[in-house]
Amino acid sequence: MGVIEVIGIKVFAYHGCLEEESIIGGDYVIDVRVEGDFSEAERMDNLGSTVDYGVVAAIVREEMAIRSRLIEHVTTRLLARFKTAWRPEYHWHVRVAKQRPPIQGDVEQVVYTAEG
């Protein structure tokens, strides 16, 4: 068993329940973790036998460009994309952090994590 993490994917997106969030947008940081058997990649040194980090980042950019009212929704969309793009036995963790959300008080970030 092994673990691959792609940490700190930064994107600007337009998620949120408030109408102004669809206009002004905001900063998000996404972390992706996948657990699985990567022994073939360890032995063969072949990109086709592992999870391509560039594809992970591209999927994040694509899904984050589709507006959602809730980060829970976009996070589970990301999870579904990863699960269909690679081997079904891989176990994924997706963390979406909304930076400086427009809520009362001084809040650094709001985070939602999904796994499967």
What are the residue ranges spanned by the domains of the chain?
2-115
* Fold classified for 2-115: GTP Cyclohydrolase I, domain 2 (3.30.1130)
Q: What is the pLDDT of residues 51-98, one digit of tens each?
A: 999 999 999 999 999 999 999 999 999 999 999 999 999 999 999 999
Q: In this predicted structure, what is the pLDDT of residue 18? A: 86
pLDDT exceeds cutoff 90 at 102: no
Q: How far is CA 63 from CA 38, 39, 49, 82, 105, in A?
A: 26, 29, 24, 11, 29
